[in-house]
Amino acid sequence: MRVRRSVQLRGVVFAGTVALLMLSPVASARGSAVYSAPYLHSKVLFLKQSSKGGCSFLSAGQPRFNSTTGVGTYEAHATAKTCSASLTGFLNLSYASFLGGVQVIVPVHAQGGAATNNSVVIWWNVSLDESPGIALHGSCPKPLVNATTGDGGQNCDLSGYGNVTASAYLADLTNGTLFPASRMWFDSVSNFTYNDTVCQSFKCQTHLRQFGTAGRLPGNVAIFLPIRGTLNHADRYVAVTTIYASGNASVYCYPRACFQGSSAFSSFWVTPEQGHAWNWTLRSITIR
């Protein structure tokens, strides 16, 4: 692991051409350390989940992270479609979802002596492409209502969604104390249409919601995760940071089938794609 150390000297007083260095117990020399690739003593946990059902397609690769370079990759694609023939024209449910990412655990050392305030900053650089969307065709049928009670309804829902999340914390392995980052990073993009009708006693109410258009998350992002805490130089610490991407696509029609020929999708790439270098990189961990 490459560790760069620097020293900040405080309490410098200039008198004419003479510089006097004055160090007090509080404002004494403080060091800082920057950890960067290769992360030779780190541990990496890989996060992966996926599921699908109905008339759907799912391709989810294995998330990767190279401790020598600090670079990780992942790609996945999910598509949900209306089934061409649903049972007696009732119920059309298709879905596909994925999640992939890494958790990196890096040993670090506190700066200063006992009970010293430390600032920890974890930086990720992410170059990505995530693009959910829907292709809407057909129509939502009239609600199915019980002839006796007047109760019933109809759901016609189509959605595509994707997000990227990064978080971090510092763990004291000596006494078990955890220092969470003061913020996490989250960005998402979605595209959906919900057309739901509920009927009670022959009175029906329709809720129509539409949001978003087929779009993409920002292509290049610098993610900043700050942590502060009172640390003891004699204790053992690890910086733990997690980054993952997730997405889902779904079609839900009940009780009647709907939106025939429609589809929803969510795609995520952080691997080289069409000449672009999509990736996530653990740039550095700084303690001062």
The rounded distance, in Å, linking the Cα atoms of 175 and 110 is: 14
User: Binning pLDDT at 50, 70 and 90, where does residue 165 land?
Assistant: very high
pTM for the complete prediction?
0.82
User: Per the structure block, which two tokens stand in for 80?
Assistant: 């949900």
How many alpha carbons lie under 13 Å from residue 183 in its C-beta half-sphere?
A: 9
pLDDT of residue 84: 72
Both tokens assigned to 267: 């795609």
Q: Please check whether residue 3 lies inside any domain of the structure.
A: no
8 part of a folded domain? no
Look at residue 1 in the predicted model and tell me its pLDDT: 57
Q: Which two tokens stand for residue 234?
A: 């004699």
Would you call 95 exposed, middle or buried from its count of C-beta atoms within 10 A (0-12, 13-18, 19+)?
A: buried
Least confident interval from 77-81, 150-154, 203-207, 266-270: 266-270
Does a structural domain hold residue 67? yes
Assigned domain for 27 exists? no
Tokens of 87: 């049972």
Q: Is residue 29 part of a domain?
A: no
C-alpha distances in Å from residue 242, one per residue of 40, 64, 225, 268: 18, 13, 11, 17
> Which whole-number Å values give the CA distances from 277 to 71, 73, 196, in the listed order?
11, 10, 42
Report yes or no on 231 lying in a domain.
yes
Could you tell me if 264 and 133 are in contact, meaning their C-beta atoms sit under 8 angstroms apart?
Answer: yes
Q: Is the pLDDT of residue 282 over 70?
A: yes
User: CA 34, CA 106: separation in Å to the nearest integer?
Assistant: 12
| Backbone angles phi and psi of 238, in degrees to 5 | -135, 140
Tokens representing residue 144 in the block: 């199915």
- Check residue 9 and give its pLDDT: 31
In a domain, 10, yes or no: no
Looking at the DSSP bridge assignments, the partners of residue 152 are 145, 199
Q: Which range has the worst mean pLDDT, 66-75, 105-114, 215-224? A: 215-224
Q: 279: closest CA among 287, 267, 265, 269?
A: 269
User: Does pLDDT of 28 surpass 80?
Assistant: no
Domain count, the chain: 1
Q: If you average pLDDT over residues 121-132, what whole number do you get?
A: 85
Burial class (CB in 10 A: 0-12, 13-18, 19+), 100: buried
Residue 217 confidence class, pLDDT cut points 50, 70, 90: low
Round the average pLDDT of the chain to a whole number and report it. 83
**Total length of the chain:** 288
Give me the amino acid identity at 60: A
The angle formed by the CA atoms of residues 269, 270 and 275, to the nearest 5 degrees, is 85
First to last CA, the chain: 18
Residue 18 domain-assigned (yes or no): no
Domain extent for 114 = 34-287
